């Protein structure tokens, strides 16, 4: 588990949040394609009437979150989401400009596109984090100084994010519009602030039916908690 830093919160003062309508539920048995959006902008996957509501708090620059995604994505979906037993909600904990840039890109487009965007960045984290670690001083200066939108666009360009999202059918103009969306930024910051209120101290962390789980930061320990509910 990696500790959370909330230094990026200051960059979005005075932005407004936009309302988002939840998607209509899919027919029973098709829960892996049932995606809705909460009033605070987080994405929910699965049966809205599932007896277990699982919340995952994630930061894209967190190596433990990437490990969890690779290990847990398939068994969580097949064993719990697909049968309609668990609905999964992803909430963002934004820690730095790179994390914010990735979160803005995963949230770009219709709600149905979110979970594959989310998986793309976490499963490929080693590749783009290698670029972070080898970045020049000039690149890092562009990422941390000046206009917020320009900083995120520089991060997206330097770390190859535009090319990654092109694999998902996004053109650069669409992505740049998303990076410049103040309402989206506001929603992501609000989720980070809410995590503080929830008592989250690191990522990944999990909540089941409104209760924050202690000592549960990997798939093995989370699966044990889920199995105890059935």
Q: What is the pLDDT of residues 97-153, one digit of tens each?
A: 999 999 999 999 999 999 999 999 999 999 999 999 999 999 999 999 999 999 999
Residue at 58 is within a domain: yes
- Long-range contacts, stretch 225-230, CB < 8 angstroms, 24+ apart: 226/52, 226/54, 226/80, 226/86, 229/51, 229/52, 230/52, 230/85
Across the range 70-86, mean pLDDT stands at 97
Residue at 164 is within a domain: no
User: What domain range is 79 assigned to?
Assistant: 2-122+182-227
Is the distance from CB of 85 to CB of 28 less than 8 angstroms?
no
Q: For the chain, what is the domain count?
A: 1
Give Cα 70 to chain centroid, integer Å: 14
Across the range 185-210, mean pLDDT stands at 96
Residue 222 structure tokens: 């989370």
Residue at 86 is within a domain: yes
How does residue 25 score in pLDDT terms, banded at 50, 70 and 90?
Answer: very low
At 66, which CATH number? 3.40.30.10
State residue 16's pLDDT score.
Answer: 35
Q: To 10 degrees, the CA torsion angle through 23, 209, 186, 15?
A: 100
- Alpha-carbon separation of residue 30 from 38, 78, 110 (angstroms): 20, 12, 18
Residue at 96 is within a domain: yes
Residue at 156 is within a domain: no
How does residue 219 score in pLDDT terms, banded at 50, 70 and 90?
Answer: very high
How does residue 168 score in pLDDT terms, banded at 50, 70 and 90?
Answer: very high
Residue appearing with tokens 């909330």 = 6
Residue at 131 is within a domain: no
What is the reported pTM? 0.88
Residue at 145 is within a domain: no
State residue 26's pLDDT score.
Answer: 45
State residue 8's pLDDT score.
Answer: 42
How does residue 9 score in pLDDT terms, banded at 50, 70 and 90?
Answer: very low
Lowest mean pLDDT among 10-19, 47-56, 110-119, 134-143: 10-19
Is the distance from CB of 178 to CB of 107 less than 8 angstroms?
yes
> Above 90 in pLDDT, residue 21?
no
Residue at 143 is within a domain: no
């Amino acid at each position: 588990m990696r500790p959370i830093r909330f230094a990026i919160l200051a960059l979005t003062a005075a932005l407004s949040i936009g309302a988002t309508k939840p998607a209509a539920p899919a027919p029973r048995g098709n829960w892996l394609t049932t995606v809705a959006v909460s009033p605070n902008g987080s994405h929910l996957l699965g049966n809205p009437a599932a007896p277990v509501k699982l919340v995952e708090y994630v930061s894209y620059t967190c190596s433990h979150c990437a490990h969890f995604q690779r290990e847990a994505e398939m068994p969580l979906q097949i064993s719990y989401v697909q049968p309609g037993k668990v609905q999964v909600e992803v909430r963002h904990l934004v820690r730095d400009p790179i994390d914010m840039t990735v979160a803005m890109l995963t949230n770009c487009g219709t709600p149905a596109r979110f979970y594959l965007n989310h998986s793309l960045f976490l499963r490929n984290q080693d590749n783009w984090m290698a670029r972070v670690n080898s970045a020049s001083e000039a690149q890092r200066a562009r990422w941390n100084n000046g206009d917020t939108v320009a900083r995120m666009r520089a991060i997206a360009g330097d770390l190859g994010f535009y090319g990654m999202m092109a694999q998902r059918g996004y053109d650069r103009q669409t992505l740049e519009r998303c990076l410049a969306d103040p309402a989206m930024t506001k929603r992501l910051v609000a989720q980070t602030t809410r995590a503080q209120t929830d008592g989250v101290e690191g990522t990944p962390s999990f909540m089941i039916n409104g209760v924050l789980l202690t000592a549960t930061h990997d798939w093995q320990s989370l699966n044990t908690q889920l199995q105890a509910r059935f």
